[in-house]
Structure 1
Amino acid sequence: MTPSLESTVCPLCLHNYQALAQHLKRAHGVCNGHERRLLLSMASGRVNIRQCPCPVSGCSYHGTRLDKHLQDGHPELRQARLLNEEQAVRKAAVVCLLGCLRATHPRVAMVSALDLVASTAEDRQVVCEVDPGVVVVVCQMPACVGVRAEHHELTATIHRLEREATQHQSKIKVQARKLRRYQLLVRGMNEGAAGRQEQEEEQRAEEVEQRAEEVVEQRAEEVEARPCRQRQELQRTTFQGRGRGSVMRHLALPPSIEKFLAEYAAYQQGIRPTRKQVENATSKISRVRTFLFHLSAGKSHLTSWLFLNDMPAVTKYASQLIREGKEVTTVKCYLHNIIHFLGYLKDTPPAACRLRRPHIHGVIRAVHMALRNLARPIAMHQLKVKAKKMAGIVSRESLRRCQEQARVVIPELLTRMEDTTNKGISNLRDEFFGYLSAFVISLYGHRPGVLTNMTVSEVEAAKADPLLPTDTGYVITIDEHKTNRDFGGAQIFLTFEEFSWLERWLEVRKRLGSKSQRVLTTRAGGPLKNMAGYMQAVWAHMGLPGRPSFTDLRTAVSGHAKHIHSGTTREKLARFMCHSTATADRFYSLVLDRSQAKDLRGHFEEVTASSSSTTHDHQDSGDSAAEELEDMRTESEAEDDDQ
């Protein structure tokens, strides 16, 4: 048998060993097989303590599930205290068994003396059930030790016989109940109506007994659920807070589950994670954490992962998200992250997981059903959002005025920043970022990440390409942006004059001592995160209506391009701005303004406007079709005759 890779503490010399059985046999000379098995069970902790009394002072529990009682019956104790109490009980149980083995005078001599030496007051309390405050003198003479061992053996025998008697009594009750049923059947067959009446009375008595049992079970469940009320109170506040202060980022789960979530987060980040990928992975883990926390409420033994096999709790979780005010699209994002995590759990389960693959498939199926139920509300929500966006869309006139004013203001800002005596360059830089982003995004409809991720090397590479006599500007290709996997690098074409703005800014940037590789950075050289604020400030300074975001500008460019251009031109514009028209055509085409709806009605009226001419046209087309069909038949018959 291959030894375990995990080291275990020897109970005799208190050193760590991997092959503890071989160590006990060779180093300590433990040749008694029963003694060696007891010492190995003490080292590994695999000792049956279910029927031992509770070691907690003041607790009179003496049942059949001490392990469950320690976890659920003492919520006032910390986890470390409970672990210490459980280990003390296990050690005391093994010491008691060693004493019983010694009392049998085995042929192979015993080596250990754990049952002959009283270790601590706590062990004496567990083994002998003595109060720690009472001093007890224990005689160490061999005769007394043998008497005590015999006493422990007889006590164990009495407990065993009591358990067997209890089992026999339960079996006798079952057989007696069956016998009563058979007697009632026979009596009913012999006595007729009298027997049926007695049978009904017996059934009523059984119903009363069942109701009493249900009441007892209900009260037991209420007692077991008391330690979980505090956890359920925390469950109601799971979705409070935002960002780093969100409650769901600080939910506590068992260490084994936390370790598995850390492995899943590393899998999500990949081998070369960017800052955005790390943030996305953290958000996904937080959503999965809320799912695990909700399903584990009121359950024990979480390290086995069996708490996931609860289909009603999965549906309740989706309903809880909606009750907390989450939009249906956000709930969809949560459920998609959970499905991906469950797939990862199914393919690479942890070592302690006892959840089978069919059970995981059932949980995934329940989450898919919750997603399917959200399909119609999601579609209606997207339509409402699009209608709201199109109602306040930025006009073409505002976009044009923004571009015209930016062309005038940007060179003036650069001239003021190039002045070495000017000390307010920080505010000028923020205005420059706002005007530049408003100009580029109102023109091309790019996402702001295209500008914030633009590097100095990409600007220099655009100028390094040879120019042709017909060229009027440069093309900058930005590799790092949101949809680079689908569209490749995002491109921006700038005329010679517009490209000179970036060149002048890079010279100013060198004078400021910035060492960042990005073109647009903060004062400390970090990535920009307040580009929207800079753009909205200059938008108000230009006197333009509204306070649009970058998404509003992108929607305006895409929407106006849809109504002005069509066919191939629109597809080219969409690909240049790294935008897919499939989603837009699915939702955006259903939202029309008054003039567009009026024009569409005119097309519908054309269908029934000239009914007579349309009828003649159909008749003519039908006659011509009949003539063509007759010619085809004639040609086929001629070919058959030739053959």
Structure 2
Amino acid sequence: MLRHTKMMAIGCPICNSPYRALSKHLLRNHNVRNLVERRILLLLAKGRINIRLHPCIIAGCEYNGTRLDRHLYRNHVELSRQELHVVLTKLKMKVATKKLRELSLTNPRVAMITSWDVDTVGDDVLAQPPPLSPVITCDNPDCKEWRMDANIMKAQRDIYAAEVKSLRCMLQQRIQRNRKRMNQRAEDQERVFLRKRSRTESTPKRLSKSKGPSCRKSPIASHTPVSSSSEPASIDTEASSSSPPIHSPWFSGRGRGNRMRDITFPRIMEKYLQGYRDHYEGIDPTVRLQENAVSKISRVKSFLSFMAHGFNRLSDWLFLRDLKRIRGWSRSLIKSSLQVTTSDFYIKNISHFLKYMNETPCKGSRLNQNDMILITREVSAILKSMRKKVFIHQMQVKRDKMEGLPSHKDIMACLTAAKTRIPQLLDVMTSNPTHATRSLLYGYMTLNWSCIYGHRPGVYSNMTNTEVLKAEITGTAFGHLIHVSNHKTANTFGEAQMYLTIEEFGWKSRGR
């Protein structure tokens, strides 16, 4: 049975329009009849321009060898994948333009269509500065002054280039040391974990049936070391709480320093995770939602790296079929330093990702519908078993918060102090406005509102002038109702409301 494969559309380098038969498009639409010219354009469109012999264009780098492609990936570790893609694109464009320029200088028999100038392509901060013009002896005073300025600029350029080169070398060395330290730490924790395993444990079952044929090393192999034995290292789901979980290194650091952001997977998996992130952000993401999406993807990657430990092929997603390993990951979360509500939140993130994966299968995945049912059912059962602990923890936190609430006497004292101090501070702001007085005024105003309504500070900080002006227009003789739409719980409870009396709204009008 013949299998028909769809040809991918390639962008035309002249008009930037996607075409599947690009050679015919160049011939018919752009009248490119020169075969050599057409071949260069096709190689440029497909990204197959040979750049190996081109010197490196990174500022401060003097590489001029025969494998520029390897040099960029191995030596310039300080550049991200997006930056490397930009550099490679500019290099290919520069080499292709140079070839077209050289072809036009030979005066070919078949006329050329493209007329790009090689000197105007790829000049940016990454490129090396162009050499100065040769010195021309001239007795004109202006020429002498220009030559002196040129020599001074050349000396400054050399000093800056040497400084950039030294700083780049220091950055590369630091990145390499951090990677070695991270790999060594993961290997040490893996070694300690395997040493503390119980000797009476039965021999683990082989997972070779779910691994599939072996292939090249996975990109995450540097972060999750594979056992040197012939069988893949198994996850001890029944280990004691003293044994560190394999994924624990990924939970070190806080915020942007969290190491979960450093986990990488094959290109097809990264593309699928990016699609999941776009689905989570929606059509109009806020800054807070984008930050939450990054954190959610990091947790999903941590789960996948735990599940993929010991597997060489990851693009088929068959490593998710190990239900015992899913229980081990959940158990390691509960036994870690995380609160039970945080562990429950992490598992809910994984449940949402598995639901998305069930409805939108990844290209190349060999998981069938029965496998996805078993996996999602196992995660749902884990969440159900955690309900009791989560509910008890929430009730305990609620009791602690209730005990820490201020008394009725303290609230009345705060309201009395706010009504006394706010008019005084407004008078001070009128005569001698200072930053300290303004901060104190805002503090008393938010204290007054919090004692009455109990809103979060984000409600007051996100209040806009438009909302206040609208409340001023729609107000009555008794007071004004302000609706704040941008706050933390707007998706669940809608707009936050504050009803200010005529006196209180007058304070806000004077404080604007």
Specify the SS of the correspondent of 1:238: helix
Q: What's the CA shift string for 1:376-431, capped at 9, x where partnerless? A: 21122122222222222211111111111111222222322333x54xx2222322
| Conservation of the 8 A alpha-carbon contact between 2:246 and 2:306 | no
Gap change, CA 1:250 and 1:429, over 3 Å in 2:
farther
Q: CA shift at 1:483, angstroms?
A: 3.2
Which amino acid in the other structure matches residue 492 of structure 1? M
2:253 is paired with a residue whose SS is coil
Residue of 406, 417, 421 corresponding to 1:409: 421
User: Equivalent residue of 1:304, what SS?
Assistant: coil
What is the 5 A alignment of 1:97-108?
none
Q: Which has the higher helix share?
A: 1
Matched residues in 2 for 1:501 and 1:389: separation? 31
Going from structure 1 to structure 2, the CA distance change for 1:316 and 1:3 (only over 3 Å counts) comes to closer
Residue 367 in 1 paired to residue 376 in 2? Answer: no
Change (3 A) 1:221 1:406: closer
Contact persistence 1:239–1:324 (CA under 8 A): no
Could you say which residue in structure 2 is the equivalent of 1:337?
349
The answer on 1:6 being equivalent to 2:8 is: yes
Q: Once the two structures are superposed, what CA deviation does each residue of 1:128-153 show, in whole Å capped at 9, x if it has no partner?
A: xxxxxxxxxxxxxxxxxxxxxxxxxx
Cα displacement string for residues 295-322 of structure 1 (whole angstroms, at most 9, x for unaligned residues): 1111121111111111011111111112
Q: Does 1:484 align with 2:493?
A: no
Residue 227 of structure 1 and its aligned partner are, at CA, apart by 10
2: distance between equivalents of 1:288 and 1:233?
16
The yes-or-no answer on 1:434 pairing with 2:440 is: no
Aligned-partner Cα distance in 2 for 1:336–1:233: 20
Q: Letter of the aligned partner of 2:456 in structure 1?
A: R
Distance 1:418 1:298, change over 3 A: farther
Q: CA deviation at 1:501?
A: 1.7
Q: How far off is 1:369 after superposition? A: 1.3
Q: Which runs of no fewer than 5 residues in structure 1 stay unpaired?
A: 9-16, 21-77, 79-210, 507-643
User: Hey, what's the Cα distance between the residues in 2 that align with 1:238 and 1:486?
Assistant: 32
In structure 1, C-alpha distance between the alignment counterparts of 2:227 and 2:313, rounded to whole Å: 17
> Aligned ranges for residues 23-422 of structure 1 at < 5 Å?
222-224=228-230, 235-419=247-431, 422=433
Asked whether the 8 Å contact 2:227–2:233 carries over to 1, the reply is: no
Partners in 2 of 1:466 and 1:292 — Cα distance? Answer: 55
1:489 deviation in Å?
1.9
Is the Cα–Cα contact under 8 Å of residues 344 and 383 in structure 2 kept in the other structure? yes
Query: Where does residue 454 of structure 2 map in the other structure?
Result: 445
Q: Which residue of 1 aligns with 2:473?
A: 464
Counterpart of 1:223 in 2: which secondary structure? coil
Under a length normalisation based on structure 1, what TM-score does the superposition of the two structures give?
0.43
Is the partner of 1:494 in helix, strand or coil?
Answer: strand
Equivalent pair of 2:9/2:20 in contact (CA under 8 Å): yes
Deviation at 1:358, TM superposition (A): 1.4
The residue type paired with residue 442 of structure 2 is F
Q: Distance in 2 between matches of 1:486 and 1:6?
A: 44
Deviation at 1:271, TM superposition (A): 0.7
Letter in 1 for 2:392: M
Task: State the shift of 1:18 in Å.
Answer: 6.5
Stretches of structure 2 lacking an aligned partner (at least 5 in a row):
11-18, 23-73, 75-201, 209-225, 236-243
Q: Deviations over 1:341-393 (max 9, x none)?
A: 10101111121211112111111111111112112211221222222222222
Cα displacement (A) at 1:233: 8.8
Q: Check 1:383–1:494 CA distance in 2 against 1; reply closer, same or farther (3 A cut).
A: same
- How far, CA to CA, are the matches of 2:394 and 2:332 in structure 1? 21
Letter in 2 for 1:394: P
Aligned to 2:481: 475
| Distance of 1:379 and 1:338 partners within structure 2 | 20
Q: Give the letter aligned to residue 223 of structure 1.
A: S
Q: Distance in 1 between matches of 2:392 and 2:342?
A: 14
Q: Following the alignment from structure 1 to structure 2, what is the Cα–Cα distance between the partners of residues 285 and 337? A: 9
CA distance in 2, matches of 1:331, 1:244: 20
Residues in 2 aligned to 1:482 and 1:233: alpha-carbon distance in whole angstroms: 34
Please state how far the C-alpha of 1:226 moved relative to its aligned partner: 8.6
Q: Helix, strand or coil for the counterpart of 1:384? A: helix
* TM-score relative to the length of structure 2: 0.53
Which protein shows a greater Rg?
1
Distance in 1, matches of 2:230 and 2:448, equals 65
Aligned in 2, Cα 1:396/1:2: closer, same or farther, shift over 3 Å?
same
Contact 2:354 2:376 in 1 (8 A): yes
Q: Offset at 1:289? A: 1.7
Match of 1:503 in 2: 509
CA contact 1:3–1:18 (8 Å) conserved in 2: no
Aligned residue for 1:493, secondary structure, equals strand
Per the alignment, do residues 401 and 363 of structure 1 end up closer, same or farther by CA in structure 2, a change over 3 Å counting? same
